[in-house]
Structure 1
Amino acid sequence: MAFRHAISQFPGGSSRRRILSSAVALTVITTGVTVAVHTAPAQAATDSFTCTGPAVFFNSTTAGTLARRTYSTPGRDGGTFSAATNVGFSGWQSYGRLLGGPNGRVYGIKSNGLTRFRWTGSNWEQVDGKIDWLISSSFQSYAGASYRDKITVDEIGDFYLIDGNGKLRWYRFDESTRTWAISGRVLDTGWERFNLLVAAGPGVLYTRHTDGRLFRHHYDPVSQRWISRDRLVGSTSWSGFAKGLFSAGGDTLFGIQADGDLFQYRYREDNQTWDLVADQIGNGWGAFPNVFTTTDTCRQGANAGPPRPSTPVQADAPVAVMQAPAATTALGTLEFAYTDNNGGLRHGRAKPDELGFIQWSSAPGFEAYTGKPALVADAQDRVNLLAHEATTSDVRSLTQKTPAMPDWNPWLVLGGAMKSEPAVVRLSDNSLAVFAYDANGSLWSRRQDGSTGDLLPWTSLGGSGFAGNPVVVANADGVATILATTGTGEVRSATWRAGALTSGWVGLGGTGFTGAPATALLPGYRVMVFARNTDGTVKTQLRNIDGTWPGTWTAIGDGSITPDGSPSALLSPTTGRVWVFVRATDGSIHRSRQTAAGSTTWTTWGPVSSGETYPTDPTTFTWQNSGGQQIGFVTRTVNSAIRLYAADETADASAARSNRTATADPTFTRHDIPAPPRR
């Protein structure tokens, strides 16, 4: 198809305006469109809506031309249209769907895919000598009647669409590299209930339910959070806009009814009310196959993203450790990750029988990280490493390209603007979920779309004032138990499933707790929690079989040490006893354990570290080598050298020790893990 630039007059539409001003809640019914309108707060915030100029309207015709005109006051009452000029002479009827984008961009969809144009104000920009730039051979289905209203472009040029499975997907095309920087990332599921999608700001999405109701959603593409979702902003009969809805940005909406009447609306996020409702600005628009506007003319200042907390590099952060899934007949490697005192992120991999040899690597890039990273294996047995970026407070993720192989996929930025380190858990259905606190100490989570899909955006779980880092334990049926410490020293718990809390926050009783809790998961999915108290003890509590908490704490060990860091706990896979390790004020590592599986009696604190002292809290884990099951922990010296303390609790060794007294312990052997090379 050849495109020729031509200028000619095009008939304009009539204009009549209607502005809403009411002191009470009401419902406006105009030409078959019913919109729920809510009373603004008595002291509503100052309206931060601005536009850079008139809204630029385009429309195609059945004859194949494309016309352009402007509307003087988008989102405000009292505007008029300019005379239309023809900016496309022929061929535009071949596009089943035309969409506006920012800065004069126009996107057309037909059988060969998605084409990009850009009107500069006087002519069409040329790329490689052509005005039509095919940027994707996909998206063809969105040219047809079934899907044409399920794709949109927002104020910053991001694409959003609802696919055939009802998933909301996000795309971003980088014109400088000519690549899709974000290509179909899933943001939500269950959107098959909507038959229309339109963006009205960066990540601000309006959807029309199949029953005609209008909903507003706000996804922040920078922090990747759902700021709000599924907010009902219009009652039934938005289906009256048979020709669809479009926007000039800033929460403006324009809609064309079946009879060709054109209306405009504007919503305010700051007070959650409609500022402009059913303002008819034209008629006779029904004959045009496609009508759309440039999407970045107007802005809504209230649509700002969340604040970014200060997250400086944490000195002497703990080490993350896990055993990767076994590869064929070989035992899984031990995976180590930590951030050094300069913010460098280090990852190491060692065979479980060859701890004197370790393959170290630095994370790609030069970003600085803080706190303890998180390690988890996904459903494909790939190791995933999540880290907290110090400069931006965002969470980033690395995933192995292939299980048991050293290569990583590129970094995936998960956003967040989070105060805490991320906690990640593999659920019973093999999907992953990530948790973190924001600047206000509120808890957010990202859950995976199935066991192989994307991590969906951050969703608020509420609460406030949480300190330290969340602790998450996987239970049955895709459920997770969350444990958190408040800034006032209380430990609280909640139950999570499928992206939401299924129970409110419950206090476990007592105060004076500090640092992150530790947990051990007992048979029957009973969670045993440990926390350090300011009275110089480590205390424990075991959840009841019915899922409730007793509300009383019991101190473990004795008064021979003063704990200084956060405890770490494990359940021995061989003896069924729970072990707790903690760093004392002198930097030594001590342990206490149950005298028998299920016992409420604990041994006295005993030293584990062999003369060395450590500034870093221990991280416990269990693993298997050729000798059987092992228990132990890792820590770091003042020089960032890693120490691994291991004990053999295989069935044979336990049987050999059965004739000893109940307080006899296995010997913990220190392994000096070779230090990584200097960066």
Structure 2
Amino acid sequence: MPLRRPRPSAARVAALTLAVVTALPLGLVCAPTAMADAVPSAPAPSAQVSCRPVQLYGAAPDGKLDFFSHADAAQGSFNWPVIGKRIDGSGWGAPRITLGGPGNWIYSINADGGLYRHRYDPVTNSWGTPPGEKIDSGWGNFLNGASRRNRVTIDERGNIFAVHDDGTLRLYRYDEKTGAPMPGNGRVIDTGTWGGYNLVVAAGDGLLFARQGGDLYRYRYDVDTQQWLEIKSPAWTAGWDKIREIRSAGGGTLYALHTDGSLFWYRYDVNAAAWVDTGRRKAGWNFETYYGISVSTDACKVPAQPVKPPVAPRPNMPAAIRQGSDKLIQQFYVDERGWLINGVQRDPKDLGTVAYSTVAGARDFVDQPVVMEQADGTPMAFALGKDGHVWMTKRQAGGTWSALKDLGGDFTAAPTVTRNPQGIVAVHAFDRDGRMWYLNQQSSNSDNFIPWRTRDAYSSMPAGYEKSSFAGAGQAVSVDVTADRPFILGIDKQGRLGMNRADAKREGWWVWGASDVSGLGGTPAAARGADGKVTAFARTKDGEIWTAKESTKADADTKLPLNGFFGQGTVLPGVKTTGSPAVAVNQDKSLGVVVRDDKGYVYYARQLTPDGEFGRWSLVAPKQAATDPAVVQLDNGEWAVFYIDTQGLERMYWLSEADGGSAQPRSLVRPKRSVPAGPVFTGGVVAKSRDGKPVVKEGR
């Protein structure tokens, strides 16, 4: 394509006419031989995309900046209403990098290492003020060498993605409302895997392409939910090493500048998961005289996805309660307003030592919080918002809680949290479709979490090995939360209890082992018994509590060992519930289970002997509960039941050991005989909280 409008030769007129009239694919118009074997297997069906004229800028080596308008970004035909209009006469040459952005913005990395933005209005042919606004420093390394120049890209929403020399991919955003400068190091959204790419381009809202050698790979990152939807999928193999630069106008479009100055057009349809035109169209030529090109990144849009409904609050939501390494008991619960309330109990047995506070801005939560400590002993709390995101807060010096940090996600039930021996905190949750996602702290004690990935994103095992699709509303639970290889449990869409275990490096997950029993519901609970094996508890379809011990069998298809809860298990008769159980470990390593029955009373059953059968249910306290019970386990083996009663009073009851048991459990096949027993709980009201302040106390 000409840079100006000189009088073309006859041959030139013929070439232009051919391009305009037929918009022939690349293979028929000056096709570079290097691209000949790069055709995907099949084109995508016709798909909707809306495009306005694309603003393309050419930065010449002598510093001049020219403007072009491409009127057919949706189809890639040769249609240029404006060709080579001079809009600035100096300053745009080497070593400057010019990048397009949304909303008429042009970004540049200048020789001083600063990141600048400029606004040009093609309608009025004028520059906005101030001209060349500096928004960050420290970008000079991207000017050093051709391989670094193509490692910065901007998407249709103004998100800046940059690949650094340490192999990390970082995300930057400029706050338009406050005018705050961008952080100098950005947020790391992927670690150590991007060093092999010498080109990255954002082609839509979270759609990224990266080049390694002659191959192009595809990634999809949802900025709002902070989820990696697709990771290193082969997009188009061979021939891309001959491309100087790739820019995008959004909507999956790519403008690829070949080394001979030809400009090729492509479009990838995310919804169809295929390229729209496998012939590849040549949209222009004669760009070889430009040092670099840039394109407005929001010219093309695909239809917006429907807004997902808010997450409904969980009924009878239990609290999270945990003793920390400082011996303090941290309580967290979501009250009837959806506020996140914290209580710190200084003396486990003194019910009047609870100090309350609310987390600033902590509103609209819908499920049980989760409490964990990071490696340095700092308490952390995680809670699910009605937006489906997981939010995190940390205890700060002075006893206050940090501002909520949005960790993203798209979930309908609370997550579970683990911490490995290296001090890395990891969060796991099931999405609306029943897939497990997890994200890890970037390093121990870090405030940054590497965004959510699915199990398959980390695993080297082939996709499709899972035998379960988990209930989207089901909460994940974990066992061995501070071990190197924790177990994750969840109930699948068939009502089976699934169990999975991280590999030795926590880089993948083994095959899910689903229970033989189906029809289970609620949130499961589990703990290790005296024999070292995991025992799990869940609610049956009849509202009773079912329990089974961990076992192993070989997968019929893969022959790999499965950990799970196989066989018929055991049902504990006598109590029916619409809620979920909680589990405790006694000092003799026998297990106990606590549950709120369908009338609101809290009951307890324990193993008669370590690893033995369970006794009958015993009433914990005569006060009805409005929430499912939670258990706080002390490091000396003592434990207590915690719940909020129907008057809004917080209650805690400690187990006083006594000879106990009463009714032997029955299996799913036939009932067994009964024997006497009777554990005793002592305790009472902790306090009533109103706006975070205790107003009522009661002795025990």
1:237, distance to aligned residue in structure 2 (A):
2.1
Within the alignment, does 1:308 sit opposite 2:305 as a pair?
no
Residue 71 of structure 1 aligns with which residue?
Answer: 70
What pairs with 1:357-436 in structure 2 (closer than 5 Å)?
Answer: 357-365=353-361, 367-390=363-386, 392-402=387-397, 405-436=398-429
Structure 2 match to 1:25: none
Q: Which residue is equivalent to 1:257?
A: 258
**Aligned pair in 2 of structure 1 residues 538, 631: CA closer, same or farther (>3 Å)?**
same
Candidates 187, 200, 206, aligned match of 1:197: 200
Is the Cα contact below 8 Å between 2:228 and 2:453 reproduced in 1?
yes
Q: How far apart, in 1, do the equivalents of 2:270 and 2:506 lie?
A: 24
Equivalent residue in structure 2 for 1:589, among 585, 589, 602: 602
Residues 191-230 of structure 1 mapped to structure 2, 5 A cutoff: 191-209=194-212, 211-230=213-232
1:636 offset after TM fit, Å?
A: 0.8
Do the aligned partners of residues 83 and 487 (structure 1) sit closer, same or farther apart at CA in structure 2, a change above 3 Å counting?
closer
AA of the residue aligned to 2:625:
Y
Letter matched to residue 297 of structure 1: A
In the TM superposition, what is the alpha-carbon distance from 1:103 to its structure 2 partner?
Answer: 1.2
Matched residues, number = 632
Structure 2 length-normalised TM: 0.83
Shift of residue 255, structure 1, vs aligned partner: 1.5
2 CA distance for matches of 1:83 and 1:643?
A: 75
Pairwise CA distance, 1:508? 0.9
Q: Give, in angstroms, the shift of residue 278 of structure 1.
A: 3.2
TM-score between both structures, scaled by the size of structure 1: 0.85
What is the CA–CA distance in structure 2 between the aligned matches of 1:143 and 1:181, rounded to whole Å? 19
Check 1:112–1:459 CA distance in 2 against 1; reply closer, same or farther (3 A cut): closer
Contact 2:153 2:162 in 1 (8 A): yes
Partner of 2:548: 541
The separation in 2 between residues aligned to 1:536 and 1:57, in whole angstroms, is: 64
Cα RMSD after superposing both structures: 3.1
Counterpart of 1:621 (choices 616, 619, 632) is 632
The residue that corresponds to 1:295 in the other structure is 297
Question: For residues 20-70 of structure 1, what are the alpha-carbon distances to aligned partners after superposition, in whole Å with 9 as ceiling and x for unaligned?
Answer: 599xxxxx97441242312247xx4x5111102x21111111211111111
Can you give the 5+ residue segments of structure 2 that lack an aligned partner in the other structure? Answer: 456-465, 553-560, 660-674, 693-700
Counterpart Cα distance in 2 of 1:647 and 1:459: 41
Query: Structure 1 residues 526 and 240 mapped into 2: Cα distance closer, same or farther (>3 Å)?
Result: farther
2:41 pairs with 1:38: yes
- Residues 36 and 406 of structure 1: is their aligned pair in 2 closer, same or farther, counting only changes over 3 Å? farther
Aligned to 1:605: 617
Check conservation: 2:76, 2:282, Cα contact below 8 A: no
Indicate conservation of the 8 Å contact 1:419/1:436, yes or no: no
**How far apart in 2 are the matches of 1:435 and 1:93?**
48
Tell me which moved more, 95-104 or 271-280.
Answer: 271-280
Q: 1:460 corresponds to which residue? A: 454
Shift of 1:297: 0.6
Q: Is the 8 A contact 1:38 1:273 kept in 2?
A: no
| Equivalence for 2:697 | none
2:500 to 494, 513, 535: 494
- Tell me the CA shift for residue 370 of structure 1: 0.9
Q: CA deviation at 1:136?
A: 0.6
One-letter code of the match for 1:517? P
Q: Specify the alignment match of 2:663 in structure 1.
A: none
Report what 2:115 is aligned to: 114
Aligned to 1:571: 585
1:281 corresponds to 2:283: yes
Separation in 1, partners of 2:31, 2:382: 51
* Residue 83 (structure 1) aligns with: 83
| Contact 2:109-2:139 within 8 A present in 1 as well | yes
Kindly state the Cα deviation for residue 506 of structure 1 after the two structures are TM-superposed: 2.3
Alignment match, 1:471: 477
> Residue in 2 aligned with 1:510?
517
- Residue aligning to 2:487: 481
Give the whole-Å Cα distance in 2 for the aligned partners of 1:178 and 1:272: 37
Is 2:549–2:565's contact at 8 Å kept on the other side of the alignment? yes
2:539 matched to which residue of 1?
Answer: 532
One-letter amino acid of the counterpart of residue 375, structure 2: A
Does the 8 A contact of 2:359 with 2:403 survive in 1? no
Q: Tell me how far apart the structure 2 counterparts of residues 271 and 98 of structure 1 sit (CA, whole Å).
A: 32
Gaps of 5+ in 1: 1-7, 23-27, 655-661
CA contact (8 A) 2:40 2:236 kept: yes
Tell me, in whole angstroms, the C-alpha distance in 1 between the residues paired with 2:623 and 2:255.
Answer: 70
Higher strand proportion: 1
1:672 to 660, 673, 685: 685
1:645 matched to which residue of 2?
Answer: 653
Give the Cα–Cα distance (whole angstroms) in 2 for the partners of residues 471 and 334 of structure 1.
21
Q: Matched residue of 1:459: which SS?
A: strand
1:635 equivalent in alignment to 2:630: no
Please report how far the alpha carbon of residue 323 of structure 1 lies from its aligned counterpart in structure 2 after TM superposition.
Answer: 1.8
1:48-67 aligned within 5 A: 48-52=48-52, 54-67=53-66
Q: 1:525 to 1:133 in 2, by over 3 A?
A: farther
**In 1, Cα distance between the equivalents of 2:382 and 2:291?**
47
Report the Cα distance in structure 2 between the residues aligned to 1:358 and 1:476, rounded to whole angstroms: 27
| Percent identity over paired residues | 25
**Distance between the aligned counterparts of 2:264 and 2:26, measured in 1?**
17
